[in-house]
Homo-oligomer: A and B are copies of this chain.
Amino acid sequence: MNFGDRLAHAVERRQSNLCVGLDPRMELLPPALLASLRPGRAGRARAYERFCAMVVEAVRDEAVAVKPQIAFFEALGGHGLSALERVCALARDAGLLVIADAKRGDIGSTASAYAEAWVRPRDGEPPVADAVTVNPYLGRDSLAPFLAACAEGAGLFVVVHTSNPGASDLQSLTVGSDGADRAEPLWERVARLVAELGAAYVGSSGLSAVGAVMGATRPHAVERARELMPRTPLLLPGVGVQGGGARTVGAALGAHRAGALVSASRSVIYAWRDGRERPGDWREAVRDAAADVRLSFRG
């Protein structure tokens, strides 16, 4: 089924726009998990896997999706990637959509290999993830293999605008004022490209399988993004630790209740570190934090 439709159904069924970011970091894990830590990268990968599995279990009734951040697993090499694959399978078994936050970007057969790595079936098994994030700098042919996967049910989130200080270095530069075409910030040009590419993948829900990553700390930018990409699901990282808020999310949702995924990572999965800790059950704090975020954007 088209990913836009799968997203729309999942949001409706679960009454949630929450996407929980899985960002496991050694120095932040629950003491109970650290106590049984085995040495080396294999041991750390196992700890990440257990932590993420418990987080998935804790948030499964509050979230609609999880977004594992590939970098943290990749830093543990092959062990980390194997652990990640198991976490993704668990999350899908729990009925959650899995968005691999990989921000890959390359061309030709390399781009195809990345699509195969994350959103295409392998060896008759389902794909590792339902959707993947990608970087647009290499242009439309770098996105083609992912679009081909979208035709088979995968989802794509193209990085359009981020919320870090460096976003202004390239993304905010004005393009097109040489008269060749419309003058606008580079990221808006990328947004147009995403809307254009996504038009062929709009499902019966009215949402496209081709989404966009929009940093959620700039409400005006999110409003503009929604205008430029009316049928594009927006993935909004940066709610919680990075800031963001209800107005931004409202703008992002637009006409469709499933038009935005609110991604919260540290504010949920490490909620128990923040004065909430209950001895013996950090998972309750995680569940409560997920419920708080979910409800804060559901009127």
Contacts and interface: CB of A to CB of B under 8 A. Distances in A.
Contacts of A81: 74, 77-78, 80-81
Copies of this chain in the oligomer: 2
Interface in A173-224: 173-178, 180, 183, 186, 189-190, 193
Contacts of A80: 78, 81
Interface stretch (A137-145, A228-236, A253-261): A137-145
Interface string A157-182: 00100101111111101111110100
B139 A137 contact: no
A104 B104 CA distance: 7
Interface string A112-148: 0110110000110000100000011111111100000
A297 interface: no
Contacts of A106: 71, 103
Contact of A110 (B72, B177, B186): B72
B164 A138 contact: yes
Contacts of A90: none
